[in-house]
Structure 1
Amino acid sequence: MPPGRPTIRSRQVAGELRRLRKQAGLTTGEVGQRLGLSQAKVSRVETGTSGLRLGDVQAMLGLYRVPEPRQAEILDQVRRAAEPGWLQVHGRGLPEQWQTLIDWESKAVALRAYHGDLVPGLLQTADYARAAIRDTASEPPPEAELDVKVAARLARQGILSREHPPTLHALIGEAALRIPVGGPAIASAQLRHLAEAIRKPHVLVRVVPLAAGAHPGLEGPFVLMDFDTDRSLAYTDHRSRTLFLDDEAAVRTHRLAWDRITAVALPAEASAEVITSLAAVAAP
């Protein structure tokens, strides 16, 4: 792929190359020396500011001793790097797209998440996350797989405890606050957790009341991610597919949807009152 504005595939490959280099215990200078590249070139590849060239990436993967099946997956992404969107189909164990989501969230400076029927993952308790993952699956996963997925979901929440966390603006459907996911005790603990979370200065939660009627959020949950220098991403997660979008038209469509949902959401103070009152009623 020639130099230019990076796509989501090229950005993901760049991050993976950086991770693999560190895993191999090499510096960018050492990689450049062994492959006949400048240190600056290696750094540009890893930050996505330089175009991905198949030969360079293949040489790096060989140097890092990446298994051939994984090499083939990464090289396929390089070949398709000019395509603006990225659709992934869920597999067993910890899905690759979950790690992708963690990577993007860790780089974001602002996150806007809408969910109508569940509390967003960044604001879930461990018990609620376990129940949500298990009970919404067509086929409940084995306990070992469930443990991995819950741990991954909780790991995502670490970004909210950083010294300089991203801002999180969540729009949550009223139904999500009333559905007893995991049973009354777990649902009650989740409401109390949410009531504590909204006290953080970088977390804003607004409730979309049932009385709001039809709005774009009824088409499904989504997340918008904004970055310091890279263009924004839109992320949607459905039963068998995860879609990362970075083309301007798709991101604009999700922004317009966000604006329309925001217009019918309760103000922040009224939302906080709804959450705290429901938490008090649900308390054992």
Structure 2
Amino acid sequence: MPPGRPTIRSRQVAGELRRLRKQAGFTTGEVGARLGLSQAKVSRVETGSSGLRLGDVQAMLGLYRVPEPRQAEILDLVRRAAEPGWLQVHGRGLPEQWQTLIDWESKAVALRVLHAHLVPDLLQTADYARAAIRGTAPEPPGDAELDVKVGARLARQGILSREHPPALHVLIGEQALRIPVGGPAIAAAQLRHLAEVIRRPHVEIRVVPDAVGAHPGLDGAFLLMDFEQGRALVHTEHRSRSLFLDDEESVLTHRRVWQRVDGIALSAAASAEMISALAEAPGVGVGSG
């Protein structure tokens, strides 16, 4: 791939090459000396600021003794680096897209999540996640599969406990707070968890009241990730596939949706009051209040 604006695939390869180099115990200077490249060239490849050349990547993977199956996966990404977006089909067990999503979330400086109907994954309790995964699946998953998916969902939440976590901005529909996912007890525990999380300095949760009527957020949940360097990235998930988008039009469209919904949401203080009130209300999660 020639130099230019890095795509999601080239950015993913760049990050993986950096991780593999460190895992193998090499410095960028040592890699350059062994492969006949300048240290600056190796650094540019690892930051995504230099175009990916198949031969260079292949040589690096060989030097790092990467297993052949993994080499094939990475080289396929290089060949397709110029393609826009990234579609991943969900399999059974641990979905591959979750690891990709964890990788990108860990690099972000700001995460913006919009969900009108459910509490977003990054804020779910284990019981709520289990009930949500089981309840929304077209076919009830087995216990082992369910355990893996719940574990993967909770693993994503680790970024919120880092020393320097990304700023998390959440727009959540009032309906999501009232649906008794898992029953009243689990729903109440989930609301109490939100009431605790909202106190963290890097977390903002704002509720979109049902009274506003139709709004763009009803058309689908999404996650918008901003980075210190490189283009923003949008992630959307559906029943059988997830999609990563980094083209300017898609990012701009989702940012506009966010801005419109942000403009009609309750303030952070009013949202915190609603969440706390619902958490303590008798029969929480039942009906529309």
TM category, shorter: over 0.9
Deviates most, 140-149 or 77-86: 140-149
Structure 2: distance between partners of 1:80 and 1:234: 19
Structure 2: distance between partners of 1:43 and 1:252: 30
Structure 1: distance between partners of 2:18 and 2:130: 32
SS of residue matched to 1:60: helix
Residue in 2 that maps onto 1:3:
3
Mapped pair 1:204 → 2:195? no
**Unaligned 5+ residue runs, structure 2?**
285-289
Mapped pair 1:33 → 2:36? no
SS of residue matched to 1:81: coil
CA RMSD between the two structures: 1.8
Kept in 2, the 8 Å contact 1:188–1:282? The answer is no
1:15 to 1:96, Cα distance in 2 relative to 1, 3 A: farther
Structure 2: distance between partners of 1:207 and 1:282: 20
Residue in 1 that maps onto 2:77:
77
Instruction: Give CA deviations for 1:58-86 in whole Å, capped at 9, x if unaligned.
Output: 12222333333332222121111112211
Structure 1: distance between partners of 2:122 and 2:246: 21
How far the C-alpha of 1:204 sits from its partner, in A, is 0.9
How far the C-alpha of 1:166 sits from its partner, in A, is 1.4
1:10 to 1:206, Cα distance in 2 relative to 1, 3 A: same
Instruction: Give CA deviations for 1:170-209 in whole Å, capped at 9, x if unaligned.
Output: 0001111111112222111110000011111211111111
Instruction: Give CA deviations for 1:1-37 in whole Å, capped at 9, x if unaligned.
Output: 1122211110011112223333434443343333222
Deviates most, 61-70 or 244-253: 61-70
Deviates most, 140-149 or 163-172: 140-149
Matches within 5 A, 1:143-222: 143-222=143-222
Q: How many residues end up aligned between the 2 structures?
A: 284
Structure 1: distance between partners of 2:135 and 2:19: 34
Structure 2: distance between partners of 1:282 and 1:86: 45
Deviates most, 69-78 or 225-234: 69-78
Deviates most, 159-168 or 232-241: 159-168
- Return the TM-score normalized by structure 2: 0.92
How far the C-alpha of 1:270 sits from its partner, in A, is 1.6
1:61 to 1:139, Cα distance in 2 relative to 1, 3 A: farther
Identical-residue share of aligned pairs (%): 81
**Unaligned 5+ residue runs, structure 1?**
none
Instruction: Give CA deviations for 1:244-274 in whole Å, capped at 9, x if unaligned.
Output: 1111111010011111111221222221111
How far the C-alpha of 1:229 sits from its partner, in A, is 1.6
Structure 2: distance between partners of 1:115 and 1:18: 34
Structure 2: distance between partners of 1:154 and 1:172: 19
SS of residue matched to 1:147: helix
1:137 to 1:22, Cα distance in 2 relative to 1, 3 A: farther
Structure 1: distance between partners of 2:51 and 2:57: 11
How far the C-alpha of 1:140 sits from its partner, in A, is 3.0
Residue in 2 that maps onto 1:232:
232
The one-letter code matched in structure 2 to 1:266 is L
SS of residue matched to 2:242: strand
1:116 to 1:24, Cα distance in 2 relative to 1, 3 A: same
Kept in 2, the 8 Å contact 1:28–1:43? The answer is yes
Kept in 2, the 8 Å contact 1:184–1:282? The answer is no
Residue in 1 that maps onto 2:94:
94
1:206 to 1:231, Cα distance in 2 relative to 1, 3 A: same
Kept in 2, the 8 Å contact 1:216–1:261? The answer is yes
